[in-house]
């Protein structure tokens, strides 16, 4: 939970989960006035602004087409905004960097390499001067973190979907990035596998104090994992003209950080928080 020195909770009349920040965050990541337009008069989103503290787990949730993935790709250096800026650790993001690890819904493993060599490839890219023995010890450490030591010398074709995604997560953590970017990394997995890897991700993030920005469509996943949830609206036509997508609301997760999947729905405030997010998605996000 957060101390009063950091955040002052100011519940709105309509939603006790709303939080207004009375002082600015330290802003390890800063997004300032970000916009993306494929049609100049109808930007997908405009003037997006938010910050993420070092060690914070932030999830953005919204309907397809609102621009969530575009924002993540800008943070990854894989796309450029039409206007605005993104800074990490006081430096503007310009192109891909090993300081930011990315995990997509597709595992993106090299099929001709084993688990060990897939991760070693990333580690050597990050630390080219390391001797082979040091690389191997480092790789084995992160493979063990995701529970795949027994499969370390198998190729992706010999792994299940969940195991492949574990490899992708291990590879992202192995380069020890300053920030981890996750684009619906569990979206293609069955519910049981998804839940198991969510638990593993939570454990690793807590151990490493990793800063994380993640996209999901799953409300319970957001509540389970996030310290803070950004609710994003879609661009929409209305009587006054066109309104681009934006961050409509920031919600601080009031549940204890040491929460678990099994106990989530027993926690006081869970249903209130869940209902608020679902209400936003159904009535206020203006999906089309």
Highest mean pLDDT out of 161-170, 212-221, 278-287: 212-221
CA distances from 150 to 2, 116, 132, 144, 154 (A): 39, 11, 20, 9, 9
Instruction: Classify residue 146 by burial, with Cβ atoms within 10 Å: 0-12, 13-18, 19+.
Output: buried
Instruction: Classify residue 140 by burial, with Cβ atoms within 10 Å: 0-12, 13-18, 19+.
Output: middle
Contact 191, 21 (CB under 8 A): no
> Is residue 6 over pLDDT 80?
no
Give the tens place of pLDDT for each residue, 62-116. Answer: 998 899 999 999 999 999 999 999 999 999 998 999 999 998 877 789 999 999 9
Maximal CA-CA distance, the chain = 65
Least Cα distance to 204 among 104, 105, 57, 61 occurs for: 57
Identify any residues that bridge with 236 across adjacent strands, giving them in sequence order.
243
- 134: CB partners within 8 A, 6+ apart: none
Q: Report domain extents, the chain.
A: 1-99+210-288
% of the chain with per-residue pLDDT over 70: 90
Main-chain dihedrals φ then ψ at residue 212, nearest 5 degrees: -135, 135
> Is residue 18 over pLDDT 80?
no
What percent helix, strand, coil does the chain show, rounded to 5? 35, 25, 45
This prediction's pTM = 0.85
Q: Which sign does the torsion angle of CA 257, 69, 168, 89 carry?
A: negative
Exposure string for 8-47, b = 16+ CB within 10 A, e = fewer: eeeeeeebebbbeeeeebebbbbbeebbbbeeeeebbbbe
Say how far apart CA 96 and CA 73 lie, in whole Å.
9
CATH number of 1-99+210-288: 3.40.50.300
Give the tens place of pLDDT for each residue, 219-270. Answer: 999 999 999 999 999 988 888 788 898 999 999 999 998 888 888 999 999 9
Which two three-digit tokens encode residue 227?
């310290």
Quick one: DSSP state of residue 226?
-
Q: Is 55 left (phi over 0), alpha (psi -120 to 50) or beta?
A: left
């Amino acid at each position: 939970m957060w101390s009063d020195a950091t955040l002052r909770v100011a519940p709105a009349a309509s939603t006790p989960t709303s939080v207004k920040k009375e002082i600015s965050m330290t802003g390890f990541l800063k997004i300032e006035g970000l916009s993306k337009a494929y049609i100049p008069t109808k930007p997908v989103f405009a003037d997006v602004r938010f910050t993420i503290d070092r060690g914070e787990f932030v999830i953005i949730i919204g309907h397809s087409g609102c621009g969530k993935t575009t924002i993540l790709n800008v943070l990854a250096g894989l796309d450029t905004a039409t206007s605005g800026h993104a800074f990490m650790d006081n430096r503007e993001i310009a192109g891909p960097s090993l300081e930011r690890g990315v995990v997509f819904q597709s595992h993106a493993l090299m099929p001709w390499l084993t688990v060990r060599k897939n991760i070693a490839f990333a580690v050597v890219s990050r630390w080219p001067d390391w001797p082979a023995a040091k690389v191997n010890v480092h790789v084995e450490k992160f493979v063990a973190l995701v529970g795949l030591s027994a499969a370390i010398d198998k190729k992706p074709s010999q792994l299940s979907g969940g195991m492949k995604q574990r490899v992708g997560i291990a590879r992202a953590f192995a380069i020890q990035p300053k920030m981890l970017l996750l684009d619906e990394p569990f979206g293609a997995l069955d519910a049981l596998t998804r839940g198991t890897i969510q638990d593993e991700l939570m454990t690793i993030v807590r151990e490493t104090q990793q800063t994380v920005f993640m996209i999901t469509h799953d409300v319970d996943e957001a509540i389970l994992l996030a310290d803070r949830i950004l609710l994003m609206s879609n661009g929409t036509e209305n009587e006054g003209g066109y309104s681009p997508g934006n961050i409509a609301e920031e919600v601080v997760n009031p549940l204890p950080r040491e929460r678990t999947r099994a106990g989530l729905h027993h926690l006081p405030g869970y249903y209130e928080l869940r209902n608020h997010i679902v209400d936003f998605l159904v009535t206020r996000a203006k999906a089309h």
